[in-house]
Amino acid sequence: MAGHGALNTEYGRRRMRLARLTIGILLVGLALFVIIGEHLAGASADAVINARLTTARAPIAGLLTFDTPVLGARVRAGQTLGFIDDDLANNSRISDLVDERARAEAERARLEGALDAVREAIAKLEERAGLYRSQRLEQMKAEFTASRAAEEAWQAQIHLYQNMLNRATRLTTTGAERMSELEQAESRLRVAERELERAQAQTAAVEVSLRAAERGVFLGDGYNDAPYSEQRISELRWQESELTTALTAQTTILTAQRERLNAERLRFARTSHANLTTNVNGILWTMMTTGGERVEQGQDLFQLVDCDSTMVTLSVTESTYNTLKHGQRAQFRPTGETHVFDGTIIRLAGPGAQGVYRNLAVAASPRHLERFDVTLFVPALLNDEELRCAIGRTGRAFFEARPLDWLRQFWR
C-alpha cells in the first residue's frame, strides 16, 4: 500500500509539471503571436502630421512693412500681417482727370447761368406780352364800340337828311323854295350815306382785328401775327431748348468724367498700397523677407501652413504598399498617445515621391524617399485642439487588423 501511494504521488507530480510546461508553452506561443502579429502587421513607423503650404506674394512693388509677425504664430483667415506702399506710383493721370472735371463743371455752371438768364427773360417778356394782349383787347373793344356808335350816328343823320330832302322836294314843287336848296339837301344825304358806308367798313375791320386778337393774332401796321414780345419769346424758347440740350450733354460728360476719376483713384490706390492678409487658418511657417525691404511685384513674402488641410504622410515597404488601395481604411496613433484615430488612404504616390512634398510643410526624408509614399486623411485630427495643427508630430500608421485591437477598442 505504501508503495502504491508513492507511485500515485510521483505520477501526480509529473502530471503537474507537464501541465505547467504545456501552459508555459501556450503562453510563450501566445506572446510570440502577439509580438510577431503586432510587428508584422502592415504598418509604418515614420508617419508624420503634415499640411499644405500657401505662399503669399507681393501684389505690387514697393516698401514692405510687417506688423511685427512672430514666426510660428497662429493666424486666422483674413488677418492683416502687414502692407506694401509704393511711393513711386504715378498719379499724373489723376491730376489730368481732375483738371478735366474742373473744366467740365465750369462749363456746366456757365450753361446753367445762361439757361437761368434766358428763362428769366422769357418770364418777363411773357408778363409784358400778357399785359399788352389784355390792354390791346380793351383798346380794340373800345374802337369797335366807337365805330358802332359812329355808324349809328350817321344812320340818324341820314334819316334827318332824308326828311329834309323830302320837304325840300315838296317846297320846290310848289315854288316855295329855290332849286339850289333841293340840290343842297340831296348833296348832304349822299355825303351822309358815304360816311355811313365808311363807318360800317371801319366797324367790320375793327371787328375782324378784335376776333383775331381774341385768338392771339394781332393785325396792324408793324406786326406779323404777334407783338414784338411774343416774337422775342419764340426766339428765346429756341435758345432755351438749345441750352437745355447742351446742359444735358454736359451733365452726361461730367458724370462720365467722375466715373473715370473714381476708377483711376481706385486703380491708383490698388497699385500704390496693398494690405497683406492671410488666406487660411494656420501657422506663419516661413518668412522670406523682412520689414523695410523694397519688394517687387510677385515676389514671395511668407508661407503659411493651412491647418484646415491637415493630413498624415508616411512611407511603407514595397510589400505593404502593394496591398494598399485608394480609399482603404487605416489607423493612426501619435507617438506618446494611446488614442488611435481612424483614417482613409487618399494618395498612393509610390517611390521617389519628392515632387508631391514641394507644397507640404514637412518634407520627405532621404529614408522616406527610399520607401513607398502613402497619404492618409484623418478627420478626427481636425477636431482635436492639440493635434489639429501639430505639424511635424510623429506616430505610427496601421493598415491591417492586429492581435490587440480588441483591447484598444476597450480602452477607447
Based on the domain organization, do 86 and 188 belong to the same domain? no
- Which pLDDT band holds residue 171 (cuts at 50, 70, 90)? confident
Instruction: Report the CATH number that the domain containing residue 361 is assigned in CATH.
Output: 2.40.30.170
Based on the domain organization, do 346 and 322 belong to the same domain? yes
Q: Tell whether 82 is covered by a domain.
A: yes
CA–CA separation, 363 and 369 (whole Å): 10
Instruction: Report the CATH number that the domain containing residue 66 is assigned in CATH.
Output: 2.40.50.100
Based on the domain organization, do 222 and 140 belong to the same domain? yes
User: Is the pLDDT score of 39 beyond 70?
Assistant: no
**Are the C-beta atoms of residues 257 and 103 closer than 8 Å to each other?**
no
The strand order across the sheet containing 74-75 reads 53-57, 300-306, 282-287, 74-75
Task: Tell me the per-residue pLDDT of 254-305, one tens digit each, with 9 for 90 and over.
Answer: 999 999 989 888 888 788 888 999 999 999 999 999 888 999 999 999 999 9
Q: Look at 77-91, 226-240, 365-379, 386-400 and tell me which has the smallest mean pLDDT.
A: 226-240
Based on the domain organization, do 147 and 203 belong to the same domain? yes
Based on the domain organization, do 287 and 311 belong to the same domain? no
- Which pLDDT band holds residue 35 (cuts at 50, 70, 90)? low
Task: Tell me the per-residue pLDDT of 304-314, one tens digit each, with 9 for 90 and over.
Answer: 999 999 999 99
CA–CA separation, 362 and 369 (whole Å): 13
Q: Tell whether 198 is covered by a domain.
A: yes
Q: Tell whether 167 is covered by a domain.
A: yes
CA–CA separation, 91 and 94 (whole Å): 5
**Are the C-beta atoms of residues 302 and 286 closer than 8 Å to each other?**
yes
Compute the average pLDDT of residues 157-175: 76
Predicted pLDDT at 224: 47
Q: Between the CA of residue 112 and those of 50, 180, 353, 405, what are the distances in Å?
A: 70, 82, 75, 90
Predicted pLDDT at 8: 60
User: Is the pLDDT score of 15 beyond 80?
Assistant: no
Q: Where are the alpha helices (DSSP H) in 218-362?
A: 228-272, 318-321
- The DSSP bridge partners found for residue 47 are 395
Based on the domain organization, do 108 and 178 belong to the same domain? yes
Based on the domain organization, do 66 and 101 belong to the same domain? no
Q: Where are the alpha helices (DSSP H) in 215-227?
A: none
Neighbours of 222 (CB within 10 A): 7
- Residue 219 region, left (φ>0) first, then alpha (ψ -120 to 50), else beta? beta
Predicted pLDDT at 346: 95
pTM of the predicted model as reported, rounded to 2 decimal places = 0.56
Question: Residue 39 belongs to what H/E stretch?
Answer: helix 2-40
What single-letter amino acid sits at 181?
A: E
- The DSSP bridge partners found for residue 329 are 344
Residues 6+ apart with CB under 8 A from 6: none
Q: Tell whether 260 is covered by a domain.
A: no
What single-letter amino acid sits at 365?
A: S
Q: Between the CA of residue 301 and those of 69, 140, 278, 279, 361, what are the distances in Å?
A: 12, 95, 12, 14, 16
Based on the domain organization, do 281 and 318 belong to the same domain? no
Residue with cell 492581435: 403
Neighbours of 220 (CB within 10 A): 11
Q: Tell whether 337 is covered by a domain.
A: yes
Instruction: Report the CATH number that the domain containing residue 99 is assigned in CATH.
Output: 1.10.287
Q: Tell whether 20 is covered by a domain.
A: no
Based on the domain organization, do 319 and 190 belong to the same domain? no
Predicted pLDDT at 412: 46
Q: SS3 of 302, please?
A: strand
Predicted pLDDT at 227: 64
CA–CA separation, 199 and 153 (whole Å): 10
Q: Tell whether 204 is covered by a domain.
A: yes
Q: What is the number of domains present in the chain?
A: 3
Predicted pLDDT at 401: 46
Based on the domain organization, do 131 and 81 belong to the same domain? no
Could you list the residue range(s) of the whole structural domain that residue 387 is in?
42-53+306-411
Neighbours of 113 (CB within 10 A): 11
CA–CA separation, 161 and 410 (whole Å): 152
What single-letter amino acid sits at 132?
A: Y
Based on the domain organization, do 212 and 314 belong to the same domain? no
User: Is the pLDDT score of 72 beyond 90?
Assistant: no
- For residue 188, how far is the Cα from the chain centroid? 98
| Average pLDDT for the chain | 82
Q: Tell whether 1 is covered by a domain.
A: no
- The DSSP bridge partners found for residue 334 are 395
Based on the domain organization, do 359 and 230 belong to the same domain? no
Give 89-116 as a DSSP string: ---HHHHHHHHHHHHHHHHHHHHHHHHH
What single-letter amino acid sits at 78?
A: G
Give the CB-side neighbour count of residue 386, counting CA atoms within 13 A: 4
